[in-house]
Amino acid sequence: MNNYVEIIPILLEGLDITITVLIGSAIFGYLIAFLAGFGRLSKNFLIRNFTKVYIEVFRGTSLVVQLFWFFYVLPGLLGIELSAYLIGVITIGMNYGAYMSEVVRGSILAVSSGQSEAATALNMSRFQRMRFVILPQAIRMMLPEFGNYLIQMLKATSLVSIISLADITYVGLLYRDANISEGVAVFTMLLVLYFIIALPLIGLTRWLERWASKGVATE
């Protein structure tokens, strides 16, 4: 049991990387989700199809491969060199942003057409209809799924260890490599630590589900 306790401070050395990658990925991912979601609804052929290609590529390929591609291929192919932290944030954000863009698109389309027709009757512009009528209702529908994806992004942060970011998984693997007999303890404590980090996110998601269920417009 002492081994398990002793491992905790070692793993916590990578906690700041795990948390900052999660925060950065979440902010970037939600931004991408809205941009791509609106892009899929655009009347412009080029924007709509460019967005569609982006979504299908990032949803149809492995996040691990995407991390390797941005980390190893991008510098040699385009001469663009980014820090491992930025690559982790951008890749995770773009991957989950592709998934969440469908949540954005679906939620906007789920708002009753009668709401838009009523706003049109009040002589609102397209922007005003979206800003004041459709989007507030759609966001309430998006929030529970956004909470679920936030938890998924937390779990995805463990993959940044493969591009040498010293998160809790990377620190744990280094310790395990130096202490082979401690493998069971390391992975057990990693499991526990990720669950503890996820607990407030799980609570937030459940709260968002309850809150959103009180405000979704129905016909």
CATH of the domain at 136: 1.10.3720.10
Determine the pLDDT at residue 2. Answer: 66
Determine the pLDDT at residue 218. Answer: 45
Q: Which residues contact 168 (CB under 8 A, 6 or more apart)?
A: 11, 12, 13, 14, 15, 17, 18, 158, 190, 193, 194
Tokens for 56?
């299908």
What's the CA gap between 16 and 79, in Å, rounded?
29
Determine the pLDDT at residue 1. Answer: 62
What's the CA gap between 84 and 20, in Å, rounded?
13
The answer as to whether 21 is a domain residue is yes
Determine the pLDDT at residue 91. Answer: 97
Q: How many domains does the chain have?
A: 1
The answer as to whether 56 is a domain residue is yes
Sign of the alpha-carbon dihedral angle for 32, 35, 38, 41: negative
Q: What domain range is 7 assigned to?
A: 2-213
The answer as to whether 91 is a domain residue is yes
pTM of the entire predicted model: 0.91
The answer as to whether 97 is a domain residue is yes
Mean pLDDT, each 10-residue run in order, the chain (219 residues) = 82 96 97 97 95 97 96 86 94 98 95 85 86 90 92 96 95 93 92 95 88 61
The answer as to whether 87 is a domain residue is yes
The answer as to whether 143 is a domain residue is yes
The answer as to whether 218 is a domain residue is no
The answer as to whether 219 is a domain residue is no
